[in-house]
Amino acid sequence: MCGRYTSVTPARELARYFDVDEVETDDLGPRFNVAPTQEVYAVALHRGRRCLGALRWGLVPPWAEDPRTGARMINARAESLARRPAFRRAFALRRCLVPADGFYEWQTTTGGRQAWYLRPRDGRPLAFAGLWESWRGDSGGRSGARLVSAAIVTTRANEVLSPLHDRMPAVLAPPAWPAWLAPGEGDPDELGRLLAPAPPEVIEAIPVGPLVNKVANDGPDLVLPLPSRERV
């Protein structure tokens, strides 16, 4: 499960890090509490060029009657991408990377729910495996506005995450990016092998306070380490 994450690195730095050819979005600004249905950065191939754009988080399949469908499709399980009708065509043809500076998970304890911030040990952006789709509504027989949306692929948790949750975002290392972004239908088994849990040395877990629990809250205070005496 991935329901909240941070996006702090500016677009120009993401473009350099992901070696994109074209930036198709304004800078979205630093955000410490990115939530479903909000705009998020994504890297994808467009006409053979690697582009950085902004998509709505929550994949809306082309056949959906209402874009609100996307609120239920923020994550896509790696194990069933080739089978689920909502994701199989995107898995075959429309794969992307979703940059993140870290993500949150919640642990159920005897005292309540404790929030944890999972961040890269090397300080570089993470690349979540993602899928994207294009949806166009129809109102009164005329096509409506085009909506481009995305889902984050999840896989089983690694040793760092497993005490907190059984799922985590599929984090792709730079050598895997070309294969994941390659145009056309890739081999499902080969693509699936890219979606293994991240090695434990990639991510560290930091307990944080309850500010992240509310979507309206934002700012660097959300990722400040919580002293052990204040944990739930």
Can you name the residues that pair with 66 across neighbouring β-strands? Answer: none
96 carries an active-site annotation: no
For 42-65, what is the HEC assignment?
A: EEEEECCEEEEEEEEECCCCCCCC
Can you name the residues that pair with 229 across neighbouring β-strands? Answer: none
Q: Of 79, 105, 190, 201, which is the active-site residue?
A: 105
2 carries an active-site annotation: yes
Whether the Cβ atoms of residue 107 and residue 113 lie closer than 8 Å to each other: yes
Q: Of 2, 51, 96, 133, which is the active-site residue?
A: 2
Distances (CA, A) of 20 to 103, 177, 186, 189, 231: 23, 12, 21, 27, 41
H/E stretch holding 107? strand 102-109
d(CA 7, CA 34) in angstroms, rounded, equals 7
Kindly list the catalytic residues: 2, 105
